[in-house]
Amino acid sequence: MKNKIKIGIVGCGFAGLFTVSGLRKKLKDKVDITIFDRNNYLLYTPMMHEVATGSLNARHIVVPLREILDPRKVNIRCEEVLSVDLKDRSINTATGKQLFDYIVVAPGSVSNFYGIPGVEERCITFKNITDVVRLRNEIITVLEKATLSRNAEEKARLLSISVAGAGCTGCEVVAEIAQFISIILKRGYPEIEPSDVTINLIEASGKVLPSFPEYLSGVALERLRESGIKVRLNSPITGVDDKCIMLKDGTCIPTGILVWAAGIKAPELLMSGNVKKDTSGRIIVDASLQVPGNPGVYSIGDFARTEEGGRPLASTASVAVQQAAYVAGDIKDRIEKRKSKPFKFNYRGDMASLGFMSGVSEVYGIKIKGFPAWMLWKIFKLAMLPRYKNRFQIMADWIITWLFKRDTSRFIEPPCR
């Protein structure tokens, strides 16, 4: 390992993982890479909503880091990063301090509750595998309780399911829940009429899928409403208690289940030195994705605020992947004493699944809807998975879901040890 350029990477989501891949491809054995993440796996977040409704097995969207990365060529440290020192370019953990020539900070994001009273205590977030399992268990639990209830008000509260946030995550989750409910009620819960279940999509702005073109946003809105979902636009949540989700216009929605997909912020990470952040805690980076005044320290993915044309780029996987490729190339240029170019995001499109055989997509300016968009989503998301075993497992899950009834058992969580 002597004389090798030492690179430390914080976080092993899409940004961190593709940075490692780019560095290994461009610099091969010239670099000594160490990656830090509290988990020893990659959670494939684009398919989390299908796990929540029983279409996929939870294990099949989890990929072990040591099977994606070769531990003989990349140092994998599954531990919490306590701080990053910008001055001496070091990463500090419970097991000690390590110095690096370059640091890439990409720890991802956490849910942003915007200080709204009662939300954090009463919602189900949608950021990790525990959230997915919890949501599935909660949906099945309220259905089981509703079959026993003889109180109309209590039954209405139990069967009120709300998703806050109409971005890609919120729309995909609410569409999948609506489909799941409509399928399993017919045979599994004859005591519950479809009209007894209220599914809400609550959005503070005036459109669903705000990053999509107006036409596709309109198509998505129509599709969601056709699925029986009550889409409430221009309806910011002002508070949540045990009985009521309160909207700005005074509307009270029975609390029931509330899934929070309404925003993200940067996680807490101590960084010594002069760092400028936005209101969501994201580091404001320069044109080369470095922390201003700290050459050799990059911030990418959900943890960074990157602007083009005076507007911040969306916190999406496609942005993170392109940033990772750029950082790998920029580090190579700096090592080889070449002039680096500023980062430029190449928008290729967006896509969202809206339940079985329905979706919307824009690919290089071509707008697609319905079944073709849904198939494109399936193919693209499957191809993005970094392990063939998981791809085959997911394809098998899809086939089983199409051929047989959905599983309505609650997941049994192992006892703590």
pLDDT single digits (tens) 269-313:
888 877 899 999 999 999 999 999 999 999 999 999 998 888 889
Rounded-to-10 torsion of CA 242, 137, 126, 172? -110
Q: Mean per-residue pLDDT for 141-145?
A: 94
Q: What is the pLDDT of residues 56-84, one digit of tens each?
A: 999 999 999 999 999 999 999 999 999 99
Residue 359 bridge partners (DSSP):
353
Residue 136 bridge partners (DSSP):
none
Q: Say yes or no to pLDDT of 220 above 50.
A: yes
Answer positive or negative: Cα dihedral of 40, 46, 47, 49. Answer: positive
What number of CA atoms fall less than 13 Å from residue 85's CA on the CB side?
13
Q: Say yes or no to pLDDT of 7 above 60.
A: yes
How far apart (Å, rounded) are the C-alpha atoms in residues 32 and 66?
Answer: 16
Convert 2-30 to b/e letters by CB count within 10 Å (16 or more is b). Answer: eeebbbbbbbbbbbbbbbbbbbbebbeee
**Tell me, what's the pLDDT at 417?**
38
Rounded to the nearest 5 degrees, what angle is found at the Cα of 189, between the Cα atoms of 401 and 252?
A: 100
What is the DSSP-derived secondary structure letter of residue 211? T
Q: Mean per-residue pLDDT for 210-233?
A: 96
pLDDT band at 412 (very low <50, low <70, confident <90, very high): low
How many beta carbons lie within 10 A of that of residue 384, not counting itself? Answer: 15
pLDDT band at 414 (very low <50, low <70, confident <90, very high): very low
Helix 371-384 vs helix 388-403: crossing angle, to nearest 10:
150
Pure H helices in 109-160: 119-122, 129-148, 152-158
Q: Mean per-residue pLDDT for 371-400?
A: 94
**Tell me, what's the pLDDT at 1?**
45
Q: Mean per-residue pLDDT for 112-127?
A: 95
Non-local (6+) Cβ contacts of 187 within 8 A are 405
pLDDT band at 405 (very low <50, low <70, confident <90, very high): confident
Residue 63 bridge partners (DSSP):
42
Helix, strand, coil share (%) of the chain residues, nearest 5: 35, 25, 40
Instruction: Tell me if residue 166 falls in helix, strand or coil.
Output: coil
Q: Mean per-residue pLDDT for 12-39?
A: 94
How far apart (Å, rounded) are the C-alpha atoms in residues 244 and 118?
Answer: 10
How many beta carbons lie within 10 A of that of residue 150, not counting itself? Answer: 6
Give the tokens for residue 126: 């949608």
Give the tokens for residue 232: 């409430």
Q: Say yes or no to pLDDT of 132 above 70.
A: yes
Pure H helices in 260-304: none
**Tell me, what's the pLDDT at 225?**
97
User: What pTM, to 2 d.p., does this model score?
Assistant: 0.91
**Tell me, what's the pLDDT at 404?**
86
Rounded-to-10 torsion of CA 152, 153, 155, 157? 160
**Tell me, what's the pLDDT at 416?**
41
Instruction: Tell me if residue 64 falls in helix, strand or coil.
Output: strand
What mean pLDDT value characterizes the chain? 92
Q: Say yes or no to pLDDT of 382 above 90.
A: yes
Q: What is the pLDDT of residues 340-379, one digit of tens each?
A: 899 999 988 899 999 989 999 999 999 999 999 999 999 9
Least confident of 179-193, 216-230, 232-246: 179-193
Q: Say yes or no to pLDDT of 413 above 60.
A: no
**Tell me, what's the pLDDT at 411?**
66
What is the DSSP-derived secondary structure letter of residue 290? B
How far apart (Å, rounded) are the C-alpha atoms in residues 41 and 26?
Answer: 24
